[in-house]
Each structure stands twice: as C-alpha cells, then as structure tokens.
Chains A and B, each alone.
Chain A
Amino acid sequence: MSQAPNNPSAASARPAAGPGIGGFGGGHPGRGGPVAKPKDWKTTLRRLWSYFGKEKALLAFIFAMVLADSAITLAGPYLIGVAIDSMSPEGGYVDFTRLEIALIALVSAYATDGALTFAQGWLMAGVSQRMVMSLRRALFAKIQKLPLRFFDTRSHGELMSRLSNDIDNVSTTVAQAVVQAMTGSISILGALAMMLYLSPLLTLASLITVPAVFLLTKTIARKTGPLFKEQQVRLGVLNGHVEETISGIHIVKAFNREQEVIREFDAINEELCRVGIQAQIRSGFLMPIMNVIGNLGFAAIAITGAWLAVESLITVGVIASFLSYSRQFVRPLNDLANTFNLLQSGIAGAERVFEVLDEEEEPADRPEAVPLDRPDGHVRFERVDFGYRPDVPILRDISFEAPAGSSTALVGPTGAGKTTIVNLLTRFYDVTGGSIRIDGRDIRDYTLDSLRRCFGIVLQDTYLFSGTIKENIGYGKPDATDGEIREAASMAGAEAFIRRLPNGYDTVLSENGGNLSQGQRQLLAIARVFLAKPSILILDEATSSIDTRTELQIQEALLQAMKGRTSFIIAHRLNTIREADRIMVIDQGQIVEQGSHDELMARQGVYYGMFMNQFGHLESAAGH
C-alpha cells in the first residue's frame, strides 16, 4: 500500500497560476480508513525533529525555499491582471511597454517558481528518506535490545506494521504534509491580502462561499468518519472470515460446510456492501459539492466583478486576478483539511514508533560484570522464583545443582515450567527471586553477551533463516570452514538428506525453511549447535518432530555432543532421556521428584506412572 508520493493530488495541491479549474482539487476523500488520533503533538513533533540530526540546516533551507516560492506564486495572478489591463477592453489598443514589463516579470516569476519547486522537491526527497532510514535503523537497533518478554507479548503482525506502515506514514508526513501545510497557509493569507488590496468589495463577494466550504466539509467529514470506520471494521470481519475458511478449507470440505460458509460470507459481504455504499455516497458528495461551490464562487466573482467593471470601479484585469486568487484561497482551505488528516496519521504513526523506542531494554550488564569464558559449566539454581506476570507465578522455590559435564533431563506435563527454566538459565528472562549460578557466580554478574555465547540451544520450534544450508549451519560460527560445517552436519545425521538435495550445502532455503520437512529442519538446527561447540547444551524438545527411527540415529550424535558438557534435555518422549544422569520431574512450577531413571522407577512415584503410561504396553508386549 505504501508508495512513494506518486499521486498527482500532491501536485494539484500546489496553487496553480491562472484561474483554477473546477473539479480535481481536494484530493481523494474516501480512500483512507479512520484516522488515528495522536496523543501528544508537541512532544512527538519535537522528537521527530531530533531525528533530522545534521540535516536540520538543510531542512530549514528547504522551508525557506518553500516560503519564498509561495510568495512568488502569489505574484502570478496579479501580473496576469496587469497584463490584461494593458489591453483596453474596447480592443484595438494595447500598451505594449506595460504588457512587456508584466510578462517579463511573469515569466521570471514562473521560472523561479519552477526552479524552487524542483530544488525543494529534490532535496526533500533525500532529506525525508534519510530521516526515515535513520528512524527505521534506530527502531531495528532498539528491537535487538528488547527482552524476549516484549516479543512474547506482542503479535508479529503488529510489530511489522510499526516497522513498515507507521514509518511510511511518518515519511509521508514529512515529505508532503508539512510542505503542504506551509504553502497552504501562506497561499491563503497571501491571497487574502492581495484580494483586499485589489478590491475589498470584490473580496467580500468571493468570500461568500468560504463559510459554505467550511460548513459542508465539516458536516460531511462528521458523517463519513464513523461510516469509514465501520467499513473498516466490516472489512476486517470479512478478511478474518476469508482467512479462516481458506486456511481451514480442508476441514470445511471434510465436514461438507461449503454452503454454510458461503452463506456466512455472503452475509458479511452484503453488510460490507451496504456500509460501503453509504460511505461512498456520503464521501462522494464532497468533491461535487466543492466543485459546485467553486463554480458558484466563479459565478459570484464574474457577476460582481463584471458589474463593478461596468460601473468602472475596477478593471477587467482585477477580475482575472481575482478568479485565480479565489482559487488559491479555496483550494488550500480544502487541502488543509486533508493535510491535517495526513499529519495526524503521521504523528500517530510516529508515536507508535516511539512507543517501541521507549520500551524497557534488556538490563544492561552490571558494572562489575565479568566475561564468562570457557566455563566448566557447573550450574546451580538457588530458591528460584519466577512468573512471566507478577501475579501468576510459574516457578516456585526451585533449587538444584548440575555438576560440570553432567546431563539433566526435565520432564513433566505441558505448562509445568520446563522451558521457563531454560529461559531463565539463558537469561531470556531474569529470575524474580533467588539466583542462578554458573561456576559459582550469579549469572547476572556475567556480561550477557559472553553468557549467551556459552550456550548451545536446540529449540522446540526450529527456526531457519532464508539463505543456504551452509549459512544456516554456520549461523553460530560465521568463520566456520566448509569442512567444519560438513562435520557438524554429519554428526547431526543431516549429511544424508543434504547430499540428496540438488544443490547440496548451497541449497537456498525459503523463509523459515519451508521447503524442508519439520524433521530435516530440526536436524539442521542440531547441526548448527554442534558447530558452535558450546559449554552448556540445551535441547528443548529437540527431537519431537523427528520420527522415532531417525531420532534413534541422531541419538548417538546427541550423546556424543553431550559428552563433557553440562546438558539440559527437555522431552516428552521418555525413552530419549533414560540415559540422563539425573531426571527432574517438574509439575506446577515445582520439582516433585528427581533421581536417575532406575532410582525413579524403583520409587514407583510420578515418573514411574508417566513411564508406564507411555511404555507399559510395549514393555509387556516386548516381554512375550
């Protein structure tokens, strides 16, 4: 939707010399949705201004040009009037000296206007794009410093729209609205002054239409605003329905619901149509009405002017000047309303961008923080409490110790807090109570950067980036050689399928690896961790999407990788964790049991129950 300013309404907003036309002014009402209202104009504008940085001088220069240009444009109609008056109305006699002087002035005014407009537009394009780029860069840099909490509580769609739509809105505001607002107000004031100077009486006649313009735009805007909002809402409902029924179309068909779904769609569609017609008609009146008012103004000036001219109170040239001044007066008035809307949505966009910029960042390293380099990997949780929201505790009083090089498995029902423990260990989140120590020191006393480098994590949902397979495996170690990458892949058991791909390691993956199966993606994620050679290994449901036979194949590789490393394994399938040094059963944020597989089985407690539930049949089946 966002396009660089390529619509001629921007051009038509500029006051044209000569009598205007009826018809095209006024932009295109009825396109945009409801305009979001900014909360605090002044602060936002001031902050926006600060993003111009070194360009402030250039921007001031551009504004100066705009001002000068608007003044020069005002001279046009006056000079046309002078030129006309150099000709006697009766014909047959023209004062050529006067005409020449007027025309020379006119041509130079136009030439200057052209040059200024060009220079201004040219420079402005650079300034506004540079400014938007730096704003975008700031936002992206900020996003990297935000804690995971921020991303977990917000939809990606919403963030995306802040990064693209809102910023584009800002750029439109800067490029168009500000300039338009400036030229618009100068045109209005200037035209009014010139008109008063030329003939106060005729000014009065031409201003008859102004209250009508105000009144009508106001009433129509008041009526159309809510209608457009409603249209937007209906459109949202329609889009939601389409999204749902098309992405779930196999279910629609499986349950023979086509007719019902079509009926629902038609009802929503019909409703949208009804509101759409209303909104369209209401807003559609704006342009013809403006046109009529323009024509009426034209007629008023022509009639009054002609009458005054007959009475010899003014010259014909004055009528000519007036016709264009009145346009310069009315059109910007009309545009100003649009500009105001544009400005409003731009400022509102800027506010949403600033909201992100003002989010709390990941905590800075403590001043006494030291880097963590090649730790032994002795991990200790001491009475750790945590909740994603203060009122909902997830972990309560968790204490355990994982000696360097040991493996710990975390099991328990969904939502028990297994992944949360990992999130705390890697400082994706910070504990709310208690402490976590690595090699005897609180992890908050290490620099975050060095701490994270010690972990190798294979996550529940693997994430691959668009790029080649090689790049994806090498993600954790940018300077890896091809040999290292190959080795990591073969350790993870990914070598076989990579070789089968037409381009091998250079196969380009689409966004999020859509062209690989879930299992293959997970193998790549495992290879990625192998390559990074971390001190502490975390496998969070790493093999959940791999079928059990493939899993068996990479089991060895995983065990190999775990050797000599402190490792944490979260798994639903209990057979994958039998070999762990210690198994911790987590339920409702607490450790309810811990010990080795054999110990826990002997105890016949919670773990035993879970295990028998999964394997009871098989154990007994294997028995006979």
Chain B
Amino acid sequence: MRIFHPYIRKYGKWFSVAIFFLMVESASDLLLPTIMARMVDDGVTERNLHEVLRLGGWMLLVTAIGALGATIRNLIASRVSQRFGTDVRSDLFRRIQSFTFGSIDKFERPSLMTRITNDVTQVQNFVNGLMRIFVKAPLICIGSLIMAVHLNPRLAVVLLVVVPIVGLLIFFNMKTGFPLFAKVQAALDRMNGATREYLSGVRVVKAFHRFEHESEKFARANDEYRLRATAAARVMATFSPGVMLTVNFGIAAILWLGGQRVNAGQMQVGDILAFIHYMTQILFSLLMISFVFNMFVRAKASAERIGEVFAENGRMEQAPPSGNRAGNAAKIEFDRVTFSYEGASGDPVLRDVSFACMPGETIGIIGSTGAGKTTLVSLIPRFYDATSGTVLIDGVDVRTLDPSLLRRKIAVVPQKSVLFTGTIENNIRWGKEDASMEEIAEAARMAQAEPFVLSFPEGYAARLGQGGVNLSGGQKQRLSIARALVRKPDILILDDSTSAVDTATETRIKEALKAYAQGITCLVIAQRITSVIDADRIVVLDDGRISGIGSHERLLESCRAYQEIFRSQIGKEAKADVPSAQ
C-alpha cells in the first residue's frame, strides 16, 4: 500500500491525535466498573456513605473526561477521514485525466468510475471507522482483560477458557462466512445480470415470445441466490447465539467460582460485579473485531483497486522536440504507419499506411466497418501513438509535440456525439474558451443547429441533461459539429459525424463547411460516397491497408474496392444481380 504513504504523511499526525483521544475515551469506559467495585466493597459493605459519594464523584469526573475525549476525537476524525477521501478522489481523478487512451481502454471506463466513487468511499469509511470504533474494540478488549486479571487473577481463569472459545467461534465464522458472502455476491450479480439482460432485450423477448426461457433463466438464478443467502444467514444464526451462550456460561461460572472465593473470604462481592461487567465488554469488543475484519477485507480490495490506477504509468511519452514547432498551415503525413491496440504483438488495425495531406486540402476516408478509419484519424491528435512508422504534422513527428499544444490545433467531431451537462453555449464554448457570443452563434448556424437551439425558450442558455439526454441524435451531432467549428482549428476531423442528420440538413452543413474549410486541412470519414465525393482526394481503406487514393473519378476507374462500394450504394448492381422480389 505504498500509494497511501503521502496521505499517511499528511494526515498521520492528526490520525494519531484522534487515536489518542479514542484511548482516553476507552480508558474512561474501562475505569467505571472498577470504581463501582470499590464503591460496593468499601462503601456499601462498610456502610460508609461518604466513601460512596466520594467514589461517585470520581465516577462522574471519569465520565466527563471520557465525554471530552469522545467530542474531540469526533471533531478530528470526521475532518481527517473526509479530507483524506477528498484528497484520494481528487488525485485519482487527476491521474485518470492524465492517462493515455491505451490506459483508459485497459481499465475500461465503467471500472474507472466505480474506483473513483465506490472504492474511495469504501476506504474512506474504513479510515473513519478506525478512528471511531475499530481501534476502540481491541483497546477495550485488552483493557478489560488487564483490568479483570488485575481485579482477581484467580477468577480470570474463566476468561482463559471463554476468550479462546469465542475467538475460535469468530475464526470459524470468518472462515465459513467470508467465502459464503462472496458466493452470495456472485449469485446476486448473476441474478441482476439476468434481469438487466431481460430489460435491455425486452423487445426481442416479446417478438420471439420466449418468456418461458427467460423465466427459467431467472428462476435458476433466483433460486441459487436464495440457497446461498440462506446458507450465509444461517452461519450468522449459529454464530451469534454461540458467542452469547459461551459468554453467558462464563458469567455463571464466575458467579459459582466467585461464590466459593467469597465464602473463603478471599474475594469481595463488588469484584464479582465488576468482573461480570468486564466480561461483557470483552464479548462485545470481540464481536466488533470480527466486524472490523469484515470491513477490512472489503476496504483492502478497494484500496488495491485504487492502487492499480495510481500504479498505471499512463502518461504519454514525449520525445525531445526535434526542430521547429509546428507552424500554422498544417500538412499531415503518414509514413509507413502500423498500429495495433495491443502494442507490437497485437493484431494490427492499420498496416503500413502512407499518405500525405496538403495544407488546406480536404481528404475523404471511406471503407467498410472495422477497416480502421477511426483509428487512422485518432493517431493525428495523439489519442494513440503509432506502433511503428511516424505521423508528421508539417514535417514534425507528432510524438515530439506536447499533446495539449498539438490538440489545440485540431478539432474532432466524433462518431458518437458526446455532450456535457451545462448550457448549449457552454458546450459549444468547449471548442474555444474565449469565443464571443457571435462566434458561437456563427458556428451553430454553420452546423445547422441554430434553428432548433432557438426553438428552446432559453435559446443558447438552454441546459442539457447529462450527456445531452434531452436532445435527439441528430441535434447532438449538430452541436458537436458547432463545437468543433468554433475552434477555428488548423485541422478538422469529421468522423461520420452526420449519420443521424437527415439528408437535406446534411447538404446544408456541407455547403457551409465548404466555405469555412478554406485553408483548413480537413479529414472526413464517411459511409456514403456522396458525403466525400467533393473531397480533393479520397482514401479507400480496406482491412487496415490503403487500397486506393485519388479523386472520385480516378478511383472509380482504378480501385476495385471503391468500385464495389460505389456499386453497392448506387444500387445499380443490386438491380442487375439480384432477382426481384416477386
């Protein structure tokens, strides 16, 4: 747990202070029974009212000190644990923000989210618990043992029997209980999985009328969960009475042995009272300790998951800058680029790709699903780095450029539009921090987003829900285009970004882009040939390789893959080859 060292250094002092006050609190709890024993033996037995009152005063004082300790401890513990959690969360978030896409893919996004939310909370709760009860339990346990032995070593023999039995019970409980609870959790996950799947596939289930099949699947998971949950609950049902019974028999034994010693004049009645009291304190602290173990196991798992994120060396490597910084006009070159998501050993998605894109040129990229189109363009802003070969901008290897400076020159419209909670204006402003309202409206107009934006009563100040849930797919795409356009980048990348927009609107967007893209290097990925037909040149990707580059006409003459795509879209081939429906 090396990753937690900085936090220990930062909060260790206050943590220790909290523990100190926790000890004060425990000591006060521990002293009370002894004072009471003295009260009974010296006060009541001797019929000495003065002594009773004097010890009573002590009792109240000890209680007051304990209360003071608890108050201070609470103030410190609450602050330390919350600040600690806040720090870990913040550092974790920063860390993730600095990750390369490779690292992010490795962890998968949902898992990163749980780590930053649930796992941190889990660890934070444990740290908080440490300063509240977890440390107190062993303190009370050991303290009570010491006090009991001190009170009467002979009677403590009973403890010698009772404590190991309880310890054994706890041990067996954990040994059988922990795996059981893990199994319960697994069964629960399976059951939830069955339900989730049913909910997402409800149309298919209904369409194929497979209710019985789904019910059976669910019933199996449900039944399995019940059996396991029952078994786990029964372990607990055996455990608690077992511990209780052991301790209760211990109390009876103390009364019996104590009675004999009192008879022999070797012990006083008050001691027996105190002894019984310590006995129960030990019992409850032992129970608490078993609970602490349980918490510890969970917190440890969470801490490990957090540690993995910190341990990931996710920063982008940056070679020392060679030559001049990239200038204004952007020429993009791919020089024998090969790329695989799994690194050098993996199955390459791009193979030996070479082409150049002149400043101000518009390049269309076309190819089947999975041909590597999106991968190709994500090498330009250094979302990923080429496995071999180089990507150059204005003759400079992108690996020598600071990603954040590089990305400042580029605007991307992704395939799947991603918007964020906030106003429409804020979302467009992502492209350019200091954009004027006029610039924002201008970009929205070009993206054909203005009509629907103005249809909201609040216009540009209309708020979007998380991920822009209140917009249709086409509207999201148009905002996402506006966000890229407001940036006035040197390089504009459009990744199949009008798929949800109807054809008429798409045409208008293209018109607007044509004027806008003067002097901007533009890469346009598309499914439909019509979307790229006007490009200066079209790159045809097929299974990670370039199978043709050139204008529409040239490709139509020379590139087989392009011809196939063309025919599939024009529908002429379909008419000729495929027999009619009747």
Stretch at the interface among B256-264, B323-331, B445-453: B256-264
Judged by a CB distance under 8 angstroms, whether B514 is at the interface is no
Check B79–A133 contact: CB distance below 8 A. no
- A140-B215 CB under 8 A given contacts A91-B269, A121-B237, A519-B369: yes
Min C-beta distance of B336 to chain A, whole Å: 25
- A16-B29 CB under 8 A given contacts A254-B407, A256-B407: no
Within 8 A of B (CB), among A94-145: 94, 96, 99, 102-103, 106-107, 110-111, 113-115, 117-118, 120-122, 124-126, 128-130, 132-133, 136-137, 140-141, 143-144
Check A265–B90 contact: CB distance below 8 A. yes
Judged by a CB distance under 8 angstroms, whether A440 is at the interface is no
Interface string of B200-219 (1 = CB under 8 A from A): 11111111111101110011
Check B244–A117 contact: CB distance below 8 A. yes
Check A144–B83 contact: CB distance below 8 A. no
Partner of B199, one of A151, A256, A269, A519: A151
Min C-beta distance of A307 to chain B, whole Å: 6
Check B52–A310 contact: CB distance below 8 A. yes
Within 8 A of B (CB), among A232-254: 235, 238-254
Among B206, B564, B574, find the residue whose CB has the most chain A CB atoms closer than 10 A: B206
Question: Please, which residues of chain A bring their CB within 8 A of the CB of B580?
Answer: 559, 579
A464 to B208, CA, bound (A): 13
Question: Smallest CB-CB separation from A548: which chain B residue?
Answer: B568
- A298-B36 CB under 8 A given contacts A106-B252, A285-B71: yes
- A615-B200 CB under 8 A given contacts A6-B177, A87-B269, A426-B207: no
A124 to B237, CA, bound (A): 9
A31 to B90, CA, bound (A): 22
Judged by a CB distance under 8 angstroms, whether A481 is at the interface is no
Check B215–A258 contact: CB distance below 8 A. no
- A273-B85 CB under 8 A given contacts A4-B184, A140-B215, A252-B97: yes
Judged by a CB distance under 8 angstroms, whether B14 is at the interface is no
Check B86–A270 contact: CB distance below 8 A. yes
Question: Please, which residues of chain A bring their CB within 8 A of the CB of B568?
Answer: 548-549, 551-552, 575
Check B280–A21 contact: CB distance below 8 A. yes
Check A87–B259 contact: CB distance below 8 A. yes
Check A251–B269 contact: CB distance below 8 A. no
Judged by a CB distance under 8 angstroms, whether B391 is at the interface is no
Question: Smallest CB-CB separation from B237: which chain A residue?
Answer: A121
A175 to B142, CA, bound (A): 33
Among B98, B239, B247, B291, find the residue whose CB has the most chain A CB atoms closer than 10 A: B291
Check A256–B408 contact: CB distance below 8 A. yes
Check B256–A99 contact: CB distance below 8 A. yes
Partner of A251, one of B288, B414, B421: B414
- A292-B243 CB under 8 A given contacts A141-B215, A280-B78, A614-B530: no
Question: Please, which residues of chain A bring their CB within 8 A of the CB of B79?
Answer: 277, 281
Stretch at the interface among B5-13, B148-156, B228-236, B355-363: B228-236
Check A463–B200 contact: CB distance below 8 A. yes
Question: Please, which residues of chain B bring their CB within 8 A of the CB of A434?
Answer: none
Check A262–B94 contact: CB distance below 8 A. yes
Check A428–B203 contact: CB distance below 8 A. yes
Within 8 A of B (CB), among A319-337: 319-320, 323
Check B369–A121 contact: CB distance below 8 A. no
Judged by a CB distance under 8 angstroms, whether B423 is at the interface is no
Min C-beta distance of A486 to chain B, whole Å: 20
Judged by a CB distance under 8 angstroms, whether B517 is at the interface is no
Check B407–A248 contact: CB distance below 8 A. no
- A80-B240 CB under 8 A given contacts A6-B294, A428-B203, A511-B197: no
A310 to B52, CA, bound (A): 9
Among B244, B247, B408, B573, find the residue whose CB has the most chain A CB atoms closer than 10 A: B244
Number of interface residues of A (CB under 8 A): 184
Min C-beta distance of A573 to chain B, whole Å: 8
A180 to B456, CA, bound (A): 54
Min C-beta distance of A449 to chain B, whole Å: 6
By secondary structure, the B interface counts as: helix
A291 to B530, CA, bound (A): 77
Stretch at the interface among B187-195, B345-353, B392-400: B187-195
Check B251–A118 contact: CB distance below 8 A. no
Check A110–B245 contact: CB distance below 8 A. yes
A459 to B204, CA, bound (A): 8
Check B229–A239 contact: CB distance below 8 A. no
Min C-beta distance of B303 to chain A, whole Å: 18
Question: Please, which residues of chain A bring their CB within 8 A of the CB of B198?
Answer: 140, 143
Judged by a CB distance under 8 angstroms, whether A309 is at the interface is yes
- A466-B407 CB under 8 A given contacts A84-B269, A113-B248, A164-B192: no
Partner of B181, one of A6, A99, A277: A6
Check A580–B581 contact: CB distance below 8 A. yes
Partner of A5, one of B236, B284, B370: B236
Within 8 A of B (CB), among A290-327: 291-292, 295-296, 298-299, 302-303, 306-307, 309-310, 316, 319-320, 323
Question: Please, which residues of chain B bring their CB within 8 A of the CB of A573?
Answer: 569
Check B48–A310 contact: CB distance below 8 A. yes
Among A144, A426, A519, find the residue whose CB has the most chain B CB atoms closer than 10 A: A144
Check A610–B503 contact: CB distance below 8 A. yes
Check A118–B238 contact: CB distance below 8 A. yes
Interface string of A518-539 (1 = CB under 8 A from B): 1100000000100010000000
Judged by a CB distance under 8 angstroms, whether A163 is at the interface is yes
By secondary structure, the A interface counts as: helix
- A547-B71 CB under 8 A given contacts A22-B29, A83-B259, A140-B195: no
Check B206–A452 contact: CB distance below 8 A. yes
Judged by a CB distance under 8 angstroms, whether B386 is at the interface is no
- A258-B97 CB under 8 A given contacts A93-B263, A552-B568: yes
Partner of A107, one of B116, B252, B564: B252
Stretch at the interface among B132-140, B160-168, B435-443: B132-140
Partner of A99, one of B40, B48, B75, B259: B259
- A280-B81 CB under 8 A given contacts A125-B233, A130-B226, A556-B578: yes
A130 to B230, CA, bound (A): 9
A461 to B414, CA, bound (A): 20
Within 8 A of B (CB), among A444-469: 449, 452-453, 455, 457, 459, 463-466
Check A615–B530 contact: CB distance below 8 A. yes
A307 to B420, CA, bound (A): 72
Check B474–A20 contact: CB distance below 8 A. no
A456 to B250, CA, bound (A): 73
- A517-B369 CB under 8 A given contacts A144-B211, A618-B530: yes
Min C-beta distance of A530 to chain B, whole Å: 13
Judged by a CB distance under 8 angstroms, whether B431 is at the interface is yes
Check A114–B244 contact: CB distance below 8 A. yes
Among B89, B247, B283, find the residue whose CB has the most chain A CB atoms closer than 10 A: B89
Check A91–B267 contact: CB distance below 8 A. yes
Question: Smallest CB-CB separation from A249: which chain B residue?
Answer: B104
Min C-beta distance of B489 to chain A, whole Å: 10
Interface string of A541-574 (1 = CB under 8 A from B): 0000111111110011001001100000000011
Min C-beta distance of A299 to chain B, whole Å: 4
Judged by a CB distance under 8 angstroms, whether B320 is at the interface is no
A623 to B199, CA, bound (A): 50
Judged by a CB distance under 8 angstroms, whether A433 is at the interface is no
Within 8 A of A (CB), among B27-63: 28-29, 32-33, 35-36, 39-40, 43-45, 47-49, 52-53, 56, 59-60, 63
Question: Please, which residues of chain B bring their CB within 8 A of the CB of A528?
Answer: 208
Given contacts A287-B133, A466-B193, 13 further A-B contacts (CB under 8 A): A84-B269, A91-B262, A117-B240, A132-B226, A140-B215, A244-B466, A248-B418, A253-B383, A255-B487, A288-B25, A428-B203, A552-B568, A575-B570
Return 28 A-B CB contacts under 8 Å, by A number: A4-B233, A7-B294, A10-B236, A19-B280, A21-B29, A21-B277, A94-B259, A96-B263, A106-B252, A249-B99, A250-B418, A254-B410, A256-B404, A266-B90, A270-B86, A276-B85, A281-B75, A285-B71, A295-B66, A302-B35, A464-B201, A512-B197, A556-B578, A574-B571, A578-B575, A579-B580, A580-B581, A617-B533
